[in-house]
Amino acid sequence: MTESFRRSGEYENPQGPQGDAYQGAYPQQQHASSPVNPEWPPPPTHQPMQQAAQQPAAQPVTGEPETTQLPEFSALPEETPHSAHAKQKRTRGPIALLAAVAIVAAAVGGGTAYAFQELTGKTQVVSSSTTTSVVPSSKKGDVATIAAAVSPSVVEITATLSNGTSTGSGVIITSNGEIVTNNHVISGAQSVKVTTSTGKSYTAKIVGTDSAKDLALIKLQGASGLSPATLGNSDGVQVGDTVVAIGSPEGLSGTVTSGIVSALNRDVTVSTDESQDQQSQGNGSGGGQWPFSFGGQQFNGDTGSSTTTYKAIQTDASLNPGNSGGALIDAGGNIIGINSAMYSASSSSSSSSSDAGSVGLGFAIPINTVKSDLAKLRAGSTS
């Protein structure tokens, strides 16, 4: 609302014949103004500042002459048409300011985490509930829209080992290059190279690892202006929810698959032995099978004697070697898990890689587990 409300007759004849806003001394105003209507309600206790400055308080009508006094404004010079115009502009200023504040408040109410990220230079982890949509609400659940929104936040990771190389994936969580991935993707790496969705390559250093949760944090060197993902709330995930997976299976970066959440809180066991990880990963780009055990059975090889077990989200979205460390995404475009293990149809090391593939049995580390571990990883823990 850009117009101020006034009662009929309240501001009649505010200017003199020559256009002066207030001609002569203030006592001359009284005979030109309309009589005070006793039926009008009293003004509010605290009037807006602009109205208080423009309209002197109404004086009671009596038979005795009265002297009008302006508190603290009696020394103001006589106003001109220009000053009256300036007064009108000043009246609109606070209204425009209030409108701007209202727009900002609405934006913050709709997406607090995103606004905070923009104002702080995108160096903070963006977090939201699963009710917040990264994609437009009209496109919620649309795989193409989700892929377009989140793919820039997923990278390919190539780790150089003592006996070869391995390929995995990672999720950008800050614009300056913090990336979450699986510990087994970079375990034993002598160097780490990261390629973004635009094809730009960076050297990365390992900041912290947590083998008990199969998580790692790496940091790109000289990176800025990247597209961080929004971390959702895995506690709100339900069986049957639509999910999308993005990663680099077999070195094919930016691969998108979709499915549903098949089960929750699955006990998945993976190796924490660095030498075991190197053995499973050192078969060339994307060739690692990432052995794990589930339900008392071994999959994709032997996990060895040093293992850890975590609660995982099970999904039938197609996952293949190279998807490890990539994103599992809900229908709103929020990251709800880090893909970590998948059953391959070929569990024998003698089988050809063409026999390997997804059979609809994949697992992801819940994103709430990741968020609770971030401080430890950032502190440089190497457990």
- Is the Cα dihedral 179, 185, 187, 192 positive or negative? negative
The 3-state secondary structure of 57-111, one letter per residue: CCCCCCCCCCCCCCCCCCCCCCCCHHHHHHHHHHHHHHHHHHHHHHHHHHHHHHC
- The CA-atom distances, in angstroms, between 180 and each of 24, 186, 252, 344, 372 are 75, 11, 19, 24, 13
206-245 per-residue burial string, b: 16 or more CB within 10 A, e: under 16: bbbbbbebbbbbbbbeebeebbbbbbbbbeebeeebbbbb
CB atoms under 10 Å from CB of 97, counted, come to: 10
Tokens found for residue 72: 């603290």
Kindly list the catalytic residues: 184, 214, 324
CA-to-CA distance for 241 and 96, rounded, in angstroms? 44
CA 229 to chain centre: 7
- Report the SS3 class of residue 113: helix
Name the H helices within the chain.
29-32, 49-54, 81-110, 112-119, 143-150, 183-186, 274-281, 367-378
Question: CA 216, CA 185: separation in Å to the nearest integer?
Answer: 9
